[in-house]
Structure 1
Amino acid sequence: MPNIYQEGLDKNTANYAPLTPLTFIARSAYVYPERTAVIHGQRRYTWLETFARSRRLASALRAQGVGEGDTVAAMLNNTPEMIDCHFGVPATGAVLNTLNTRLDAETIAFMLEHGEAKVLFTDREYSPTIKKALAMVQRKILVVDVDDAEYSGPGERLGSREYEEFIAEGSADFPWTGPDDEWRAISLNYTSGTTGNPKGVVYHHRGAYLNSFSNIVSWGMQPHAVYLWTLPMFHCNGWCFVWTMAANAGTNVCLRRVDPKLIFAAIREHGVTHYCGAPIVHSLMANAPAELRAGITHKVAGLIAAAPPPAAVIEAMANIGVDLTHVYGLTETYGPAAVCAKHAHWASLPIGRQVELNGRQGVRYHAQEGITVLEPTTMEAVPWDGETMGEIMFRGNLVMKGYLKNPKATAESFAGGWYHTGDLAVMHPDGYVKIKDRSKDVIISGGENISSIEVEDVLYKHPAVIAAAVVATPDPTWGEVPCAFLELREGATANEQEVIDFCRQNMARFKVPKRVIFCTLPKTSTGKIQKYVLREQAKSSAAIE
């Protein structure tokens, strides 16, 4: 029998448009042209000016032959140029690849090659790393330098022109149209918590649009929020908050580096209402001298991710007027896709119970279809008893398209019709998810994912090391840090500082083990290192210290 609601009721340009966050900046520039969009040092841009800069960038890129399916990489700090890129690059049909500024040259080179970057915008601060990376890359890349007036440190220009010169070549009247299909890629983000080479996570316009809105609704942001950029914009496109702030018609307060003095000064001067960050950011703020917080009388909302916040941090942040909300997600879910949605009566509970409730990974974001805990082989739901462990899985619009050039990993991650996070968790009786362990031995330190196997690979290169195992150990500042257990070759010697120095020469600094313990590694009868034993040792030794 024919469906009467299908006949003659087709999609057309009058009743349908593909979802894209590119519409947000166009609307804010139209409705609030004179409202301040970006603050960075002495620089100020309205929404109309920010829109014009993004259009000039798109026009200049198009003149260089950048278009549908091309990749434009950015090695940038939290500056106005990075905001421009989040709109100007996808406006050409190209895909934005934001690079982690903390990575080493070899990893950056891999990303530039794997992502087939056609253009690279790079801050002068990172010229030593980028110069080495470009020397390893075989493809031709147009390099455009960003010379930020707020940076006075060392560095050199590597490209043929500077950013402002480049966008001056473009037109502010560049036609502003979105993709013909909302499934088209908008950005490429590389994971840092996998073994071997990082995987390229591809976002689509639809997911970016929906998560941008979900950030507002799930967090309860008021219109025209003043958002401080303590979270790196390179990390999951700043959890989609670059696009969120355009939808909100709020103000972006840029910050090149995380420093409590600068954070509190910005909050005080600009009336910051919202910010996001890993536990380390909140810990730095909570432990900052009281005089830095003087003069701040308004309420500030903060999102915290990664390790659950310790009680002392939640209490200290509440005392200085910061209301924390815990969110959970991964690179593969556009950043936060779950939130520990609060209930009013929680506030009347003892602080210990509040921390227990607020430290959970929570429930799905508004724009996400589902989060659950399943037994990964049978795909059956675990009991809601707070004890039976399974794997956290997501389903919905806030899940990546897949991994670039990696169909095998993509298929494995979507097995059974859910995205497998690799995080082991329980489901509480109220339907809230709580992480218990990580199946892939990923260490989350200060919000950064660290692969234990990647660190072990470097340790095995040390001439004195015959066996190595790296596990997480609790840390009051970073949440958790890498702890290395080493077994030395017969007759060989090494000390902790020597090993740490060796690691610093061969990997990004945030991945370097903070503790090194020499011992005979515990092994199974088949020779497999028993990491669960080492985890307990690491926890015990950390507790003693």
Structure 2
Amino acid sequence: MRLDPAGIDPTDHALARRCSVGDIPTRAAATFSHRTALTDETGSWTYLELESAANRFAHGLFEHGIRESEPVAILSPNCREFVATYFGTAKAGMVSLPVNLLSGLENIAHALTDSGTRIVVVHGSLVELVLGATAAIPGVETLVVVGGVPDGLEAAPDGPTLIGWDDLLADDDSNPDTVIADRQVVQCLYSSGTTSRPKGVLTSHLAVTVAALGNGAVFGLNWGAEPSVTVCPLPLFHTAGLNGVLLSAVTMGATVHLLPGFDPVGYADTVARVRATHLVGLPLMLEALADGTDRGLDLSSVRFLLYAMAPMSEEMRRRLEAALPDARMVLASGMSECTPATVMQWPELCPDKSDSWGYPTPIAENRIAEPGSDDLLPPGADGEIVYRGPTVMEGYWNNPQANAEAFVGGRLHSGDLGRIDAEGVVWFSDRVKDIVKSGGENVSSLHVERVLMDHPHVAEVACVGRPDPTWGELVVAVVVPTEGAPGEDELKASVREFGAERLPSSHRPRDVVVVDSIPRTATGKIRKVELRALA
């Protein structure tokens, strides 16, 4: 049956059925108006106050002349104004562009230039730095400063206008009647750039909304009289903090305690003080909880502990299980291009399948395909992990070649290699671009790294390929030595010998590079593009 909506005003019809990320705090405020929504270093907001600030910011953008679907960049550590800016931009039908503060000035400038950004919301602690950088980004016309413009700070005559964040807010605190299409873009997150220059990932209102609802359900966030409580040290400019923590928490009326960065002692103390119930973090962050119980902190309130973006050692798992006996520990994986989480490893999969990524979440279909092809493979076969579902991105900003490669056969190609076993469990093996092709063999850098990590003098290791005229590529191991390790030449020889004894000929490292640290992104991913240049 084809529905004929004759007789309905098109605008009224669109508004009544609107799927807008900007309406997430509106619904929460209607039910939990006086519940604390956000806290940061400077204070707190109730849900009613968050909704009012976001609405006033949206109307302020209209009055400032920012157009629909135009990007509004955010350069700021976690704070309440960051959140109100994000939701206000969504309410106005514009695109929120949180910029990775740790990606380096070159990549920050690339994001602002590539997106054509005219207006940037910047934290007061960063305004002088950003003001200096905008000389190379002539498209930026306005800097909106969180905390107000510092006394005595003036822009150059031909530079951007400086406005205090509070000064941009309009008097009107009503939720704007903005017509928004389901697949209209609401956010742009530039990828971490582990293998190439960062790409702008465009995500829709529908994708963000479905992911927030799905994560809230899987995390077990409580929609009721007793709020869930979370502490967020993860940066909101990354999808894990933004979509994984903030959006799902606000959707379910939780209380979010925002931290401007990660301090182990401060993080554990905050978790204990606010009686947090649900936590998401890197294993390194969660280690602070085990240390906190050693200091006598009461962390018995924690019911759900999700770790992401890095594996957890068995020793750390045991420590956390002892420290948080009532907490359900879950590994989650995903990517910005398919609004995470897409896969979750249930505790029931340990120990037999503790090396797996786990089962798909309810919001994304996971399949295995021939890399770059539309040919789907049967259970157990190795190939590229591909996705289909409402949380898939709209595409990359200004990158038609990457878009063509990403969408093949009606599915999003992740660039991750793996398999799905007969029980539906997803196993990751490596990134497509990180596979070393040596002597006709596809060598998983991840597999080589796992073997070399057993070397007694290797604290960290990452493997990449080096071009070779005979073998195509050779495996090179980049190693951070442990304290007390032998000299560089002796360590190199020892690592090569260790690999030769335990790995096939094509997999063993033919050269070793010793470094003080492995270059990583803000969320702990290894930047192999830098390692290839080093190797």
| TM-score > 0.5 by shorter chain | yes
How much has 1:129 moved relative to structure 2?
Answer: 4.5
Distance change >3 Å, CA 164–CA 8, structure 1 → 2: closer
Alpha-carbon RMSD:
3.8
Separation (CA, whole Å) in 1 of partners of 2:449 and 2:322: 28
More displaced stretch, 10-19 vs 181-190? 10-19
Return closer, same or farther for 1:364/1:20 CA change in 2, 3 Å cut-off: farther
SS in 1 for 2:90: helix
Alignment of 1:346-425 (within 5 A): 346=348, 354-368=350-364, 370-376=365-371, 379-385=374-380, 388-425=381-418
Q: Is the 8 A contact 1:58 1:92 kept in 2?
A: yes
DSSP 3-state at the match of 2:353: helix
Q: Residue by residue, what CA displacement relative to the aligned partner does 1:473-519 show, whole Å, maximum 9, x if unpaired? A: 5679x9966578999xxxxxxxxxxxx9xxxxxxxxxxxxxx99989
Q: Which amino acid aligns with 1:307?
A: A
Q: Give the aligned partner of residue 269 of structure 2.
A: 265
* 1:143 aligned partner: 143
> Secondary structure, in 3 states, of the residue corresponding to 2:74?
strand
Is structure 2 residue 443 aligned with structure 1 residue 439? no
Structure 1 position 45 matched with structure 2 position 38: no
Q: Deviations over 1:285-323 (max 9, x none)?
A: 44x254445223223322212233221222211111143
Sort the Cα spacing of 1:373 and 1:27 in 2 relative to 1 into closer, same or farther, 3 A: same
Distance verdict in 2 for CA 1:259–1:115, change over 3 Å: same
Matched residue, 1:455 = none
> Could you say if the C-alpha distance between residues 242 and 10 of structure 1 is closer, same or farther in structure 2, counting changes exceeding 3 Å?
farther
Q: What is the letter of the counterpart of residue 204 of structure 1?
A: S
Unmatched 5+ residue regions in structure 2?
156-160, 437-444, 468-479, 481-487, 497-504, 518-535
Distance in 1 (CA, whole Å) between partners of 2:344 and 2:4 is 41
Distance across 2 between alignment mates of 1:471 and 1:431: 22
For residue 307 of structure 1, the aligned residue among 306, 310, 313 is: 310
**Quick check: 2:54–2:87 contact (8 Å CA) kept in 1?**
yes
| Greater alpha carbon shift after TM alignment, 118-127 vs 406-415 | 118-127
CA offset at residue 250 of structure 1? 1.1
Structure 1 residues 179 and 363, CA gap change in structure 2 (3 angstroms) = farther
User: 1:330 is matched with which residue: 318, 332, 335?
Assistant: 335
Paired residues for 1:91-490 under 5 Å: 91-127=91-127, 129-147=129-147, 160-167=162-169, 170-193=170-193, 195-223=195-223, 224-236=227-239, 238-286=242-290, 288=291, 290-321=293-324, 322-342=327-347, 346=348, 354-368=350-364, 370-376=365-371, 379-385=374-380, 388-441=381-434
Identity %: 22
Secondary structure of residue in 2 paired with 1:125:
helix
Structure 1: how far apart are the matches of 2:431 and 2:394?
A: 23
Give me the TM-score of the superposition, normalised by structure 2: 0.76
Structure 2 CA distance for partners of 1:131 and 1:7, relative to 1, 3 Å = closer
Aligned mates of 1:133, 1:197 — CA distance in 2: 19
> In 2, Cα distance between the equivalents of 1:14 and 1:138?
41
The answer (yes or no) to whether the contact 2:103–2:192 under 8 Å persists in 1 is no
Once residues 112 and 126 of structure 1 are traced to their aligned partners in structure 2, the CA distance between those partners, rounded to angstroms, is 15
- 129-138 or 408-417, larger mean C-alpha shift: 129-138
Counterpart AA for 1:280? L
Q: Which amino acid in 2 is paired with 1:186?
A: V
Q: Which residue of 2 aligns with 1:449?
A: none
Contact conserved, 1:363 with 1:371, CA < 8 A, in 2? no
The structure-2 alpha-carbon separation of the partners of 1:472 and 1:127, relative to structure 1 and needing over 3 Å to count, comes to farther
Tell me the equivalent position of 2:74.
74
For residue 357 of structure 1, what is the amino acid of its counterpart?
K
Question: Which residue pairs with 2:524 in the alignment?
Answer: none
Give the secondary-structure state (helix, strand or coil) at the position aligned to 1:57: helix
Distance 1:316 1:406 in 2: 45
In 2, the alpha carbon distance for the partners of 1:535 and 1:227 equals 46
Corresponding letter in the other structure for 1:81: E
Aligned length: 457
Deviation at 1:531, TM superposition (A): 9.6
Q: Partners of 2:341 and 2:199 in 1: how far apart? A: 19
Q: Secondary structure at the match of 1:214?
A: helix
> 1:309 touches 1:355 (CA, 8 Å); kept in 2?
no
Supply the AA of the counterpart residue of 1:394.
Y
Contact 1:374–1:382 (8 Å) recurs in 2: yes
Write the deviation string for residues 255-288 of structure 1: whole angstroms up to 9, x where unpaired. 01111211121112111111212232223444x2
Residues 471 and 257 of structure 1, relative CA distance in 2, 3 Å threshold = farther
Counterpart residue type for residue 23 of structure 1: D
Partner of 1:497: none
- Which shows bigger deviation, 16-25 or 77-86? 16-25
CA separation in 2, counterparts of 1:472 and 1:20? 45
Specify whether residues 266 and 284 from structure 1 end up closer, same or farther in structure 2 by C-alpha distance, changes over 3 A only. Answer: closer
Q: Deviations over 1:119-175 (max 9, x none)?
A: 111123334642443121121321122249xxxxxx9887623323333xx124344
Say which SS state the counterpart of residue 357 (structure 1) adopts.
Answer: coil
Q: Deviations over 1:47-102 (max 9, x none)?
A: 10111111111122211111202111001111101110121012111100001111
